[in-house]
Structure 1
Amino acid sequence: MNEYNASEPIDFNTSELKLKGFKVYQIGTDCSVIPTYNRRDFYKISIITGESIIHYADRGIETNGTTLFFGNPHIPYSWELLSESYNGFACVFTEEFLRVNDRSESLHECPLFKISGTPIFYLSAEQKTFITSLFQKMIVEQDTDYVFKDDLMRNYINLIIHESMKMQPSENFFRHKNASSRITSLFLDLLERQFPIETKDQPLKLKTPQDYAQNLAVHVNHLNRSVKEISGKSTTAHISERIIGEAKALLQHTDWSVADIGFSLGFEYPSYFNNYFKRLTGTIPKSLRM
């Protein structure tokens, strides 16, 4: 069993991806590794043929055939590949890349990327052939020096989006078996939606289990029990790991001061952030910039 998980490390340069705004790559048992990303700045469209289970927010779907998936960076998901043989393509891109002006519709409003939407489609043989051909064209074009390459890539991505909107989304979702599983998924979804941090002027709003419990309209003790039962880790541990992960990304990929990074993550004073970071990582924030 292979787990294709959006939280695993990326095998290509995230800074380059952020700069260009898109990346297209092939997936398959003949590839050395499946590229994924850990800083969730990017939307994803992928097509995979094989048997799998896709876990998305508090839902899951079993697939066997060719599946087209639309990943929202604000919603946790993972792709559990069950078959020994699988193949396909994926494209990751930023909203800024796809939106050429402020009048363009936000991807948050697109039915394929809405938090309440259904992002998984089964493809017929004809649909598979057509969608695959678009990915193959993007693979060829992304390394060319064509002056209008970005416009061409946007056209291919938009064509995939509009062709998919003509399809009926899969209705074979299964719900989690109990309340603990559901509340844990909703907590992880809400946690992921707090990131990435886009500005140093608006500090992180939800920082404690109590904050999350209040937003989810449950008692904090119920939230803590559920998360521990399902994930094996405490609510506090999940929050801390996500904050530290974001802190490392900001330290490595921005020129913000350590004080600004700490403030953006909800620490009123730099000393609080330094002590928190050192307690959880064994080193000080500045060490990541040496």
Structure 2
Amino acid sequence: MQKALSLEEFYRNTIGVLPSEIFKKIGHFNVFHMEDFEGVEFPYEMPYSRKDYYKIALIRGPHKVEYADKTFDVKHNMLMFANPQIPYNWRPATQSPRGAYCVFTEEFIKDFGNIREYPLYQPGGFPILDVTDEEAAEMIVTFNKMFTEIAGDYKYKYDVLRNLAFELVHMALKMRPAMTLDDQERSNAHYRIVSLFQELLERQFPIESPRQQIHLKSAGDFASQLNIHMNHLNRVLKAATGKTTSQLIGERLALEARALLKHTNWNISEIAWCLGFEDPSHFIKVFKKNTQTTPKGFRSE
């Protein structure tokens, strides 16, 4: 797995310079037209890797997107919400890419709500959406507001840009209401436990070296860390997600395993060890339970 691409590397690869705002304490935000690359060869081969920044991209026209362990062939319109926890890349299948995207850092949205609580940014969420022409046109209006705002000299323009970024997030959630949680679930103590569990689970990733190993790997490990009984944790997660603690852990480990199998040359024993399995046969059993194939079978496919 390649090292996470930094925002500085993103700018050097795309436009060759670093904007001065990148080092501001408020964090960084920028927005781009894909049409800016029309008629020229795409500037560089974006590596399949995690990035240390967020991206919201409206992709129009044929593209290929690799996100986590899945590959998407975009033939029409797609809205993608990329985050620092999940590796991805994308490449236009044409020299006339259309659409727009914005990038921003964790610091930019700090204390502006918890973006990781949204289903779009949670494991097992829906970070890639097919959108209609009408929905895409509505999103382009928001992106155009970003272009206007960032070019202006309004003192509080970055506050406006934060609102516009979140407007895209909420636009997607409203278009796909099944992705949102019930308000009552959000307000009770159980939702807090779910959020803390997901944060602890995600904090262990990405795996970027065969010498890196996760340490929280069982329901008991997480319950102990959260200082609650394992049965209570299991009931809360089951009620909120429909899945047990062990199922959620297994699915997340399988997601990371698929990415490592697809994009590294590490052997299966090394991957198993990184994911907390001292016995590779146990890893193979868990992987097959979650993916209906063996690690070797998945890699050969």
Using the size of structure 1 for normalisation, the TM-score is 0.54
Aligned to 2:115: 107
C-alpha distance in 1 between matches for 2:73 and 2:125: 17
C-alpha distance in 2 between matches for 1:76 and 1:162: 23
The aligned amino acid for 2:87 is P
C-alpha distance in 2 between matches for 1:161 and 1:30: 27
C-alpha distance in 1 between matches for 2:204 and 2:87: 9
C-alpha distance in 2 between matches for 1:16 and 1:135: 19
C-alpha distance in 2 between matches for 1:43 and 1:115: 15
Alignment of 1:61-80 (within 5 A): 61-80=72-91
Q: Tell me how far 1:75 sits from its aligned partner.
A: 0.8
1:129 equivalent to 2:137? Answer yes
Q: Which has the higher helix share?
A: 2
C-alpha distance in 2 between matches for 1:9 and 1:60: 22
Q: Secondary structure in 2 aligned to 1:142?
A: helix
- Which one of 156, 160, 183 corresponds to residue 152 of structure 1? 160
1:16 equivalent to 2:16? Answer no
C-alpha distance in 2 between matches for 1:18 and 1:34: 24
Alpha-carbon spacing, 1:133–1:77, altered in 2? closer, same or farther (3 Å): same
1:116 equivalent to 2:124? Answer yes
Alpha-carbon spacing, 1:112–1:6, altered in 2? closer, same or farther (3 Å): farther
Q: Deviations over 1:69-98 (max 9, x none)?
A: 100111101113223432111101123322
Q: Tell me how far 1:24 sits from its aligned partner.
A: 0.8
Alpha-carbon spacing, 1:190–1:57, altered in 2? closer, same or farther (3 Å): farther
Aligned to 1:48: 59
Which shows bigger deviation, 140-149 or 80-89?
80-89
2:59–2:99 CA contact under 8 A, matched in 1? yes
1:193 equivalent to 2:237? Answer no
Q: Secondary structure in 2 aligned to 1:138?
A: helix
Alignment of 1:169-184 (within 5 A): none
The aligned amino acid for 1:193 is P
Alpha-carbon spacing, 1:31–1:85, altered in 2? closer, same or farther (3 Å): closer
Corresponding residue pairs, total: 196
Q: Tell me how far 1:133 sits from its aligned partner.
A: 1.5
The aligned amino acid for 1:16 is E
Unpaired runs of 5+ residues, structure 1, are 171-188, 196-205, 218-222, 240-290
Q: Tell me how far 1:157 sits from its aligned partner.
A: 0.9
Alpha-carbon spacing, 1:34–1:191, altered in 2? closer, same or farther (3 Å): farther
Q: Tell me how far 1:122 sits from its aligned partner.
A: 1.6
Aligned-residue sequence identity (percent) comes to: 28
Unpaired runs of 5+ residues, structure 2, are 179-201, 218-248, 251-255, 272-301
Aligned to 2:68: 57
Alpha-carbon spacing, 1:65–1:146, altered in 2? closer, same or farther (3 Å): same
Q: Which has the higher strand share?
A: 1
Q: Tell me how far 1:158 sits from its aligned partner.
A: 1.4
Q: Secondary structure in 2 aligned to 1:166?
A: helix
The aligned amino acid for 2:206 is R
Q: Deviations over 1:198-228 (max 9, x none)?
A: xxxxxxxx7616x2699698xxxxx99x957
Q: Tell me how far 1:64 sits from its aligned partner.
A: 0.9
Aligned to 2:225: none
1:141–1:149 CA contact under 8 A, matched in 2? yes
Q: Secondary structure in 2 aligned to 1:112?
A: helix
2:50–2:88 CA contact under 8 A, matched in 1? no
Q: Secondary structure in 2 aligned to 1:159?
A: helix
Using the size of structure 2 for normalisation, the TM-score is 0.53
1:43–1:71 CA contact under 8 A, matched in 2? yes
The aligned amino acid for 1:24 is V
